[in-house]
Structure 1
Amino acid sequence: MKILLKEDSNKGLAMARENEKRDGMMTYSIAGDALIIIDHTEVDPAYYGKGVGKQMLYKIVDMAREKNIKILPLCPFAASMFKKLDEIKDVLKS
């Protein structure tokens, strides 16, 4: 599975693709030079429980680290992952 990131002016998207099919997406808003807000996660039911959402989140976390920005997870899935996973809390907006 490939995770792609796309951004335009103030919106971003992590997309999980396999065999030319979109299997999941996680959207975020760019709230300035130092903050993004994850607002939605969607995974194809065929991929529930297979870590697709986590892979998309990790792709966004890696991008945030590269750009030295913080993440505010308003999406319930992303918020729950930030509570569970200590290894990504370095990019969490406090």
Structure 2
Amino acid sequence: MEQLKVKLENNRGEIQLFVADRQAGKMEISIYNGRLTVYHTEVDPEHEGKGYAKLLLNKLVEYARENHLKIAPLCPYVHSQFKRHPELYQDIWYQQENK
């Protein structure tokens, strides 16, 4: 069974995915001024293709909504999912306005 947890220290940390008590993936994140920035998503090669990146994304989104944060998707995977399905993420997607 998969377990997900958010681990933060001084507003930097990870969303971690565990399978059978071993870390199988993570998202590197930071929080500052109401913005949750996601830098990188990683799933161990032995667990690729099992939908674990999507589980991490779902936990990221859930955490942002629960804590009233906007997500700045610097991670290519998260950014591509936001662009592919903007209707799912519009409420939490931080998009810097061009001025």
TM-score (norm 2): 0.86
Structure 2 spans left out of the alignment, 5+ residues? none
Distance 2:58 2:66 in 1: 12
Residue aligning to 1:17: 18
Q: Structure 2: which amino acid aligns with 1:39?
A: Y
How far apart are the structure 2 equivalents of 1:47 and 1:89?
A: 29
Q: 1:23 corresponds to which letter in structure 2?
A: A
The answer to whether residue 50 in structure 2 is matched with residue 50 in structure 1 is yes
Could you give the per-residue CA deviations for residues 30-81 of structure 1, whole angstroms, max 9, x where no partner exists?
A: 122x101100111011221211111111111111111111000001111111
The question of 1:28 aligning with 2:48 is answered no
Determine which structure has more spread, i.e. the larger CA radius of gyration.
2
Query: Post-superposition shift, 1:89?
Result: 2.7
Q: Any idea what the Cα deviations from partners look like across 1:6-40, whole Å, max 9, x if unmatched? A: 111120311110111110000111122x1011001
After TM superposition, the score normalised by the length of structure 1 is 0.91
Paired position in structure 2 for 1:90 = 91
Gaps in structure 1 of 5+ consecutive residues: none
Identity of aligned residues (%): 35
Q: Distance in 2 between matches of 1:81 and 1:29?
A: 19
In structure 1, the partner of 2:5 is 4
Name the SS of the counterpart of 2:15 in structure 1: strand
